């Protein structure tokens, strides 16, 4: 019976120490030393919240750079006024089925139609696949460069100017080998739209 | 090619380099020695003993030790269950999230108390911050600490001679939490929030979408819609869609994420703060956080191999066990990496898609994987997380190639002994080590012994149960589920892959792993209850078995090493141990794997 009492007290004490105190202290330090990062890395320009630089958004306009294949969830979240909010999720499809082969075929068709300059050039794989989170903010450098001719045409810019924007939004591999070289799609599009400079 | 290989090597080297010193430190902590953090933490430790009425020097028999583990397990689970059922009435619920259903709450409570962290819910949508940090974070710490405690009860049984007691559970659990898990969690948390992982108590935010999207009257996204914001009309292929809603904002989840993510990685728990776990950019935003999280998920289980060697005063034994685990890990990592990089013909689409690895892209099977992680960082995580019984993911295993997915499943089915969970992976492997010396002893006609103690029928019976708990749990439960009427409706993919989704779910529960082929909709009463019970069974049966073995071993005398003693530290033993682990796994799971991933593989290449 003494052990039962100790067990009960231990659950309470550890809930306070590991649950409450640990979380509260960590939150306090985070808010003091890294408030922007700890609050979602939001991009605010002239009072408008353009989203988190870490969260992908769906882009289908030909003027904008496209990100990973779009899989949006508009059902799960609502704002306080009851309006639906966009979010993302994975497809969880097996890449080895006939059904998947069909889905990829449709994505290829759409991308080729929007990028006639590229003809039948093989499309970089991350453009035709959906990400793990459905909120991937990045695409590979190859996928970004693939879209340069279209972006230049649609935005009346030179390909050089588009490439310069892409370079400005690229994170290279760490130490030249670790991770992947990626391009932040939201930042590129905000720069194409003239919101960010 | 070179850079990908270098990435895999970097992960493995960093893991070993950090595991060795942590192993030394952890051995000192669990042996009750003073460590460099003692001046700070010792007063806290004493305070906890005072508050909970623990007498630090009181020794326990194996039965008392077990009773304490069980009381602590069930009371912790009950607290979590109640938190989730009452979350609408408790504080820290800025999103006004409803209470969980009883079966989902049972499943989640069982899941976190057993160190599994199977998630039939989505964190940002179905749990209040209170449930997350008071409930889940707490269990993340103490369930991992319980694993270390039970491991050390077994260690003492090998070290002590002709005694009856195996230590004090409360002291072991408290020291493991306070000296090992908490300091490491604080370091990891600080790195995470400085890099963009959320850490606050604010409600979820909304942000302006650059391009609005449309939803039909049933709330589904309309693909390819043209949206005119001025006239508020939505058209598809020139036709106006009535009752369509235009969505102009995005949901940005918030909350105390970093602190919970740190311990879910370190404690081999794995339960994500967000629904999609570390694939979520706010849970794992870049390669630095990915490196830290990925190493964290295997660090303590790897370190404990070295702690074990030090504490039993036989460093070679610790290294031999480590070697067996490490060899299997490297082989399995290689198979996953190869298959994910090779992708599938369905994705390559007759060369219309460029799946080659170049300096500008990762290539390979990118479905369900994040661009910032590519193939190397995703495959490494997948191998680590299913080797350790962690179960967090940074890519969706459901979208892996058939053979890549098979390996993730197999690592769990082997009983989570390739490093496995914190503490429990190693005591599970020691169960296999007993089985190995027994089989080897039979072959050469000698009485089996391990660490100078005789292995007799009593220990063997329990060791077999420890080794078979996972196969029994997985096969019985998935067998029942396969014929249960409504389970087929939970599948997200058709055919063999659909079967794999269900087999993966029970393998994950049966290995106390917690990862998922996440297309599987597990939130139904039958699945919640059956998966919950499976997790409890495979967690508690090995704990009972290991403590029973400890209780018997501690009473034995040590026998002298002679020329005829079977060495348990040489490469022959390492090979035999790997052989026994694979044999038990292969014999048990080959039929089930044939129906799932192997069948899918052959239909893929046809």
Four-residue CA torsion sign, B14, B15, B16, B18: positive
Q: Determine whether the interchain pair A52/B252 forms a contact, defined as Cβ–Cβ distance below 8 Å.
A: yes
Distance from CA of B355 to the nearest CA of A (A): 6
Residue environment code for B253-275, b if the CB has 16+ CB neighbours within 10 A, otherwise e: bbbbbbbbbbbbbbbbbbbbbbb
Helix (H) or strand (E) holding A127: helix A125-128
Are B346 and A126 a contacting pair at CB < 8 A? Answer: no
User: How far is residue B559 from each of residues B312, B321, B455, B548, measured CA to CA in Å?
Assistant: 15, 22, 11, 21
What's the pLDDT score for residue B27? 97
By the 8 A CB rule, do B523 and B121 touch? yes
**Rounded-to-integer distance, Cα B227 and Cα B94, Å:** 32
Q: Which of residues 134-153 of A touch B (CB under 8 A)?
A: 134-143, 145
Mean pLDDT, residues B65-84 taken together: 97
How close does chain B come to A191, measured CA to CA in Å?
Answer: 12
Tokens found for residue B310: 């030090």
Of the ranges A14-23, B63-72, B438-447, which one carries the lowest mean pLDDT score?
B438-447
Whether residue A101 lies inside any domain: the answer is: yes
Other CB atoms within 10 A of residue B94 CB: 14
Domain coverage including residue A21: 2-36
Cα–Cα distance between A129 and B340 in angstroms, integer?
A: 14
Q: Write the CB contacts of A90 (distance below 8 Å, at least 6 apart in sequence).
A: A71, A130, A131, A132, A133, A134, B276, B279, B368, B396, B398, B399, B518, B519
pLDDT of amino acid A129: 97
Could you report how far apart the first and last alpha carbons of chain A are, in Å? 68
pLDDT band at B217 (very low <50, low <70, confident <90, very high): confident
Query: Alpha-carbon distance B483 to B576, whole Å?
Result: 37
Are A72 and A138 in the same domain? yes
Q: Is residue A165 part of a domain?
A: yes
Tokens (6 digits) for B485: 């009427």
Split chain A (197 residues) into runs of 10 and give each run's mean pLDDT. Answer: 94 96 97 96 90 94 94 88 90 94 96 95 96 96 97 97 97 92 96 92
Q: Does A79 touch chain B (CB under 8 A)?
A: yes
The alpha carbon dihedral of A38, A42, A45, A47 has a sign of negative
As a whole number of angstroms, the distance between CA A33 and CA A25 comes to 12
Q: Which of B2, B138, B286 is closest, CB to CB, to A15? A: B138
Strands A72-78 and A84-88, by their bridges, are antiparallel
Backbone angles phi, psi at A78, to 5 degrees: -130, 150
Q: Distance between CA B503 and CA B479 in Å, rounded? A: 9
Read off the pLDDT of each residue in B580-585 and give the average, rounded to a whole number. Answer: 92
Average pLDDT value over all residues in chain B: 94
- Closest CB to B76: pick one of A11, A56, A85: A11
pLDDT of residue B442: 86
How much is the average pLDDT of B253-282? 94
Best of B46, B173, B201, B250 to mutate (most A CBs within 10 Å, chain A): B250
Sign of CA dihedral B110, B116, B119, B125: positive
A28 touches chain B (CB under 8 A): no
d(CA A140, CA A145): 9
Contact yes or no for A96 and B190 at CB 8 A: no
Closest among B249, B269, B251 to B261, alpha carbons compared: B269
What digits encode the pLDDT tens for the residues B379-398? 999 999 999 989 999 999 99
Q: Are residues A127 and A168 in the same domain?
A: yes
Maximum Cα–Cα distance across chain B: 91
Q: What pLDDT sits at residue A197? A: 85
Provide the pairing of β-strand A42-45 with B226-228. unpaired
pLDDT bracket for residue B184 (50, 70, 90): very high
Q: What is the mean pLDDT of residues B43-52?
A: 97
**Cα-atom radius of gyration of chain A, to the nearest Å?**
22
Length of chain A: 197
A2-18 burial: b if 16+ Cβ within 10 Å, else e:
ebeebbbbbbebbbebb
* pLDDT for residue B1 is more than 80: no
The backbone torsions φ and ψ at residue B451, rounded to the nearest 5 degrees and listed phi first, read: 55, 45
List b or e across B378-391, with b for residues whose CB sees 16 or more CB atoms inside 10 angstroms.
bbbbbbbbbbbbbb
Q: Name the domain count of chain A.
A: 2
The whole-angstrom distance between B218's CA and the closest CA on chain A is 9
Q: What is the pLDDT of residue B586?
A: 83
Kindly state the tokens that stand for A172. Answer: 């290279």
Which of the four pLDDT bands, split at 50, 70 and 90, describes residue B239? confident
pTM for the whole thing?
0.95
Of A22, A72, A180, the CB nearest to B374: A180
Give per-residue pLDDT as tens, B283-326.
999 999 999 999 999 999 999 999 999 999 999 999 999 999 99
What letter does residue B280 receive in the DSSP assignment?
S
- Chain A positions in Cβ-Cβ contact with residue B209 (cut-off 8 Å): 51, 57-58, 86
Q: How far is CA B203 from the centre of its chain?
A: 29
Query: Residues A89, A168: one domain?
Result: yes
Give B103-171 as a DSSP string.
HHHHHHHHHHHTT----SS-HHHH--HHIIIIIIHHHHHHHHHHHHHHHHHHHHHHH-SS-S----HHH
Query: What letters, b where the CB count within 10 A reaches 16 and e where it falls short, cover B104-135?
Result: bbbbbbbbbbbbbbbbbbbbbbbbbbbbbbbb
- What's residue A188's pLDDT? 97
Contacts across the A-B interface (CB distance below 8 Å): 401
Q: What pLDDT score was predicted for residue B485?
A: 85
Q: Which helix (H) or strand (E) holds B10?
A: helix B2-30
A197 is a domain residue: no
Nearest by CB to residue B361, choosing from A8, A22, A141, is A141
Statement to judge: residues A13 and A75 lie in one domain: no
Q: Are A190 and A196 in contact (CB under 8 A)?
A: yes
Contact assignment for A92 to B517 by CB distance below 8 Å: yes
- Give A177 to chain B, closest Cα distance, Å: 5
pLDDT band at B240 (very low <50, low <70, confident <90, very high): confident
pLDDT tier for residue B2 given thresholds of 50, 70 and 90: confident
Tell whether A60 is within 8 A of chain B (Cβ).
yes
Of B71, B196, B343, the CB nearest to A41: B196
Q: How far is CA B90 from CA B98, B158, B579, in A?
A: 11, 47, 51
Instruction: Return all residues near B575 (Cβ < 8 A) that are at least 6 apart.
Output: none
Across B561-582, average pLDDT: 91
By DSSP bridging, strand B239-240 and strand B353-354 are unpaired
Predicted local distance difference test score (pLDDT) of residue B224: 80
Contacts of A145 in chain B (CB under 8 A): 360
DSSP conformation class of B178 = I
Q: Which helix (H) or strand (E) holds B228?
A: strand B226-228
In angstroms, the CA A87 to CA A72 distance is 6
Q: Beta A42-45 vs A48-52: how paired, if at all?
A: antiparallel
Q: Is the pLDDT of residue B518 over 90?
A: no
Residues of chain B found within 8 Å of residue A75, distances taken between Cβ atoms = 219-220
Q: Is the pLDDT of residue B153 over 90?
A: yes
The pLDDT of residue B514 is 87
A77 and A16 in a common domain: no
Per-residue confidence (pLDDT) for residue B219, from 0 to 100: 81
- pLDDT, tens only, B121-139: 888 889 999 999 999 999 9
End-to-end, the C-alpha distance of chain B in Å comes to 28
Tell whether A165 and A73 lie within a shared domain.
yes
Which residues on A lie below 8 Å from B135 (Cβ)? 15, 19
Q: Is the dihedral of CA B196, B197, B202, B208 positive or negative?
A: positive
**Partners of B221 in the β-ladder:** B215
Q: Contacts of residue A134 in chain B, CB cutoff 8 Å? A: 276
Task: Report d(CA B119, CA B432) in Å as an integer.
Answer: 29
Q: What is the DSSP letter of A140?
A: E
Same domain (yes/no): A124, A171: yes
- At residue B444, the pLDDT reads 83
Q: Which of B309, B379, B227, B312 is nearest to B550 (CA)?
A: B312
- Mean pLDDT calculated for residue range B529-546: 95
Nearest one of B299, B300, B321, B302 to B312, comparing CA atoms: B321
Contact B207 A72 (CB under 8 A): no
Q: Is the Cβ of A97 closer than 8 Å to some Cβ of chain B?
A: yes
CA distance A196 to chain B (A): 12
Indicate if A98 and A161 belong to the same structural domain. Answer: yes
Closest alpha carbon to B402 in B259, B269, B530, B504? B504
Whether B242 has a pLDDT exceeding 80, the answer reads: yes
Task: Inspect the interface and report whether the beta carbons of A57 and B170 lie closer than 8 Å.
Answer: no
Burial of B186 (0-12, 13-18, 19+ CB in 10 A): middle
B606 CB-contact burial (10 Å; exposed 0-12 / middle 13-18 / buried 19+): exposed
Q: Nearest residue on chain B to A57, judged by CA atoms?
A: B209
Task: Using DSSP, state whether B580 is helix, strand or coil.
Answer: helix
């Amino acid at each position: 019976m003494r052990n039962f009492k100790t067990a009960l007290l231990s659950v309470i004490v550890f809930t306070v120490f590991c649950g409450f105190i640990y979380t509260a202290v960590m939150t306090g330090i985070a808010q003091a030393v890294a408030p922007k990062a700890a609050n979602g890395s939001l991009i605010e320009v002239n009072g408008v919240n353009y989203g988190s630089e870490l969260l992908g958004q769906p882009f289908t306009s030909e003027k904008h750079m496209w990100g990973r294949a779009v899989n949006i969830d508009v059902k799960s979240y609502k704002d306080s006024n009851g309006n639906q909010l966009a979010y993302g999720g994975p497809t969880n499809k097996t890449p080895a089925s006939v059904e998947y082969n069909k889905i990829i075929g449709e994505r290829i068709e759409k991308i080729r139609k929007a990028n006639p300059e590229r003809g039948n050039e093989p499309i970089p794989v991350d453009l035709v696949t959906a990400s793990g989170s459905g909120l991937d903010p990045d695409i590979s450098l190859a996928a970004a460069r693939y879209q340069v001719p279209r972006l230049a045409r649609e935005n009346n810019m030179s390909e050089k100017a588009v490439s310069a924007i892409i370079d400005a939004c690229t994170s290279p591999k760490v130490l030249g080998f670790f991770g992947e070289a990626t391009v932040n799609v939201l930042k590129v599009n905000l720069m194409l739209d003239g919101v960010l400079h | 090619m070179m850079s990908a290989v270098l990435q895999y090597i970097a992960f493995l080297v960093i893991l070993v380099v950090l595991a060795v010193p942590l192993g030394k430190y952890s051995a000192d902590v669990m042996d009750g020695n003073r460590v460099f953090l003692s001046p700070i933490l010792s007063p806290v430790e004493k305070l906890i003993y005072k508050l909970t009425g623990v007498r630090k020097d009181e020794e326990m028999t194996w039965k008392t030790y077990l009773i304490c583990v069980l009381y602590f397990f069930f009371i912790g689970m009950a607290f979590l269950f109640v938190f989730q059922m009452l979350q609408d009435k408790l504080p820290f619920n800025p999103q006004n999230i409803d209470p969980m259903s009883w079966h989902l709450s049972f499943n989640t409570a069982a899941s976190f108390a057993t160190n599994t962290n199977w998630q039939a819910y989505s964190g940002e949508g179905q749990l209040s911050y209170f449930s997350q940090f008071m409930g889940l974070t707490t269990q993340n710490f103490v369930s991992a600490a319980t694993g270390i405690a039970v491991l050390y009860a077994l260690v003492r049984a090998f070290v002590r001679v002709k005694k009856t007691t195996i230590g004090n559970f409360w002291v072991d659990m408290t020291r493991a939490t306070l000296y090992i898990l908490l300091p490491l969690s604080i370091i990891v948390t600080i790195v995470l929030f400085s890099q963009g992982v959320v850490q606050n108590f604010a409600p979820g935010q909304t942000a302006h979408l650059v391009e609005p999207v449309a939803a039909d009257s049933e709330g589904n996204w309309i693909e390819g819609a043209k949206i005119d914001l001025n006239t508020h009309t939505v058209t598809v292929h020139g036709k106006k869609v009535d009752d369509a809603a235009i969505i102009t904002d995005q949901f940005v989840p918030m909350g105390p994420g970093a602190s919970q993510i740190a311990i879910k990685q370190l404690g081999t728990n794995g339960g994500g703060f967000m629904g999609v776990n570390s694939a979520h950019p706010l849970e794992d935003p870049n390669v630095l956080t990915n490196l830290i999280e990925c190493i964290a998920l295997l660090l303590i289980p790897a370190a404990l191999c070295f702690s074990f060697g030090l504490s039993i005063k036989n460093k070679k034994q610790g290294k031999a066990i480590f070697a067996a685990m490490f060899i299997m890990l490297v082989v399995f990592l290689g198979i996953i990496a190869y298959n994910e990089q090779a992708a599938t013909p369905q994705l390559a689409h007759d060369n219309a898609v460029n799946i080659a690895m170049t300096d500008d892209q990762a290539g390979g099977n990118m479905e369900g994987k994040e661009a910032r992680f590519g193939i190397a960082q995703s495959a490494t995580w997948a191998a680590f997380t299913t080797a350790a019984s962690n179960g967090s993911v940074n890519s969706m295993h459901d979208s892996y190639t058939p053979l890549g997915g098979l390996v993730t499943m197999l690592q769990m089915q082997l009983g989570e002994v390739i490093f496995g969970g914190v503490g429990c992976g190693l005591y599970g492997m020691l169960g296999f080590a007993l089985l190995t010396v027994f089989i080897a002893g039979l072959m050469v006609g000698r009485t089996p012994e391990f660490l100078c103690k005789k292995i007799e029928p009593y220990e063997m019976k329990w060791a077999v149960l420890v080794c078979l708990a996972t196969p029994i749990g997985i096969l019985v439960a998935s067998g029942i589920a396969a014929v249960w009427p409504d389970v087929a409706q939970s599948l997200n993919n058709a055919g063999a892959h659909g079967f794999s989704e269900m087999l993966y779910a029970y393998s994950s529960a049966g290995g106390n792993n917690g990862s998922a082929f996440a297309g599987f909709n597990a939130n139904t009463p039958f699945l919640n209850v059956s998966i919950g019970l499976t997790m409890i069974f495979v967690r508690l049966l090995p704990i009972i078995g290991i403590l029973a073995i400890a209780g018997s071993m501690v009473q034995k005398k040590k026998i002298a090493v002679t020329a005829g003693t079977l060495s348990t530290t040489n490469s022959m033993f390492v090979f035999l141990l790997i052989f026994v682990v694979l044999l038990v796994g292969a014999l048990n799971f080959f039929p089930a794997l044939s129906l799932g991933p192997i069948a899918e593989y052959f239909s893929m290449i046809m």
